[in-house]
Amino acid sequence: MYKKKPFFIVFEGVEGCGKSYQSKKLFLRLRKNKVPTVLTREPGGTKSAELIRDLILKDYFKKSKEEKFDKYTDTLLYLAARNEHVKNKIKPELDKKKVVICDRFVDSTLAYQVFGKKVSLNFIKNIQKVILGDLKPNITFILKVSPKSSKKRLRKRKSKNRYDNFPQKFYNKAQNSFLKIAKRKKNYFILDSSNDDNFLENRIFGIISKYLNIKN
């Protein structure tokens, strides 16, 4: 029988892996099972963090390199958005013993900023110590996708942001970074999301059901 408790679930992966779709599907299934659940995302999740998100995403479309944010400015904006999100949404909802599902979190910062842009890991770690405190996801799903499937999904998107327009080489590097982060960690689940069927949705719900003691 489900017993109300705080539980933090994160979905990670490259663009076109289906993490936003699977986050929403899990959210709806938990709600259907009367589990108090909140669905959120990064960067964003609160009004102030969404404003920072807009600023970050718009920056990509500036033509001149001189106009663009330095990689450390860019990283600080992501961390600023995370600070607002953690302090004003994630922690308060967990304190209410709710399940929080987040589309992207700290591993995206590592994959894109550290592995991708070569931002100093210690720079990020020191700031995140203050932002996160003892906050850690209970479960992280890394969705692994084939280049063919991700390209097909990205082509279907009506509105695109900065990360939907990168070359395949960048996505391959980012995906390898996510897999490296997840290696040998018990609370990480690497799942193949290349196929468009219900199997993955059911697999994810089955994993979470065991942790939350939900009877199907």
Q: Where are the domains of the chain?
A: 7-212
Taking the C-alpha atoms of residue 113 and residue 121, their distance in angstroms, rounded to an integer, is 9
Confidence of residue 204 (pLDDT cuts 50, 70, 90): very high
Nearest residue to 150 via CA among 160, 164, 140: 164
Give residue 166's pLDDT band: very low, low, confident or very high (50, 70, 90): low
Per-residue confidence (pLDDT) for residue 159, from 0 to 100:
59
How close are the terminal C-alpha atoms of the chain, in Å? 10
How confident is the model over 173-202, as pLDDT tens digits? 889 999 999 998 999 999 999 887 899 999
User: Is residue 182 within a helix (H) or strand (E), and if so which, with residue range?
Assistant: helix 168-182
Q: How many CA atoms lie within 13 A of 149 on its CB side?
A: 14
Residue-wise pLDDT tens digits, 125-163:
999 999 999 999 999 999 999 878 777 766 766 555 555
Query: Could you say which DSSP state residue 88 is in?
Result: I
Instruction: Give the pLDDT band of residue 86 (cuts 50, 70, 90).
Output: very high
> What tokens appear for 30 in the block?
């938990």
Q: Is 129 helix (H, G, I), strand (E, B) or coil?
A: helix
> Are residues 191 and 144 in contact, defined by beta-carbon separation less than 8 angstroms?
yes
Predicted pLDDT of residue 184: 87
Report whether 27 contacts 100 (CB < 8 A): no
Residue-averaged pLDDT of the chain:
90
139-144 and 37-41 beta bridge pairing: unpaired
**Which range is most confident: 51-60, 65-74, 106-115?**
106-115
CB-based contacts of 47, cutoff 8 Å, min separation 6: none
Task: Give residue for tokens 């070569």.
Answer: 118
Q: How far is it, in rounded angstroms, from Cα 190 to Cα 180?
A: 11
Q: How far is 86 from 128, CA to CA, in rounded Å?
A: 11
DSSP state of 15: T
Q: Model-level pTM?
A: 0.91
C-alpha dist (Å) from residue 158 to 89, 106, 213: 28, 27, 38
Kindly state the helix (H) or strand (E) to which residue 37 belongs, with its residue range: strand 37-41
CATH architecture entry for 7-212: 3-Layer(aba) Sandwich (3.40)
pLDDT of the residue at 160: 55
What type of residue is 133? G
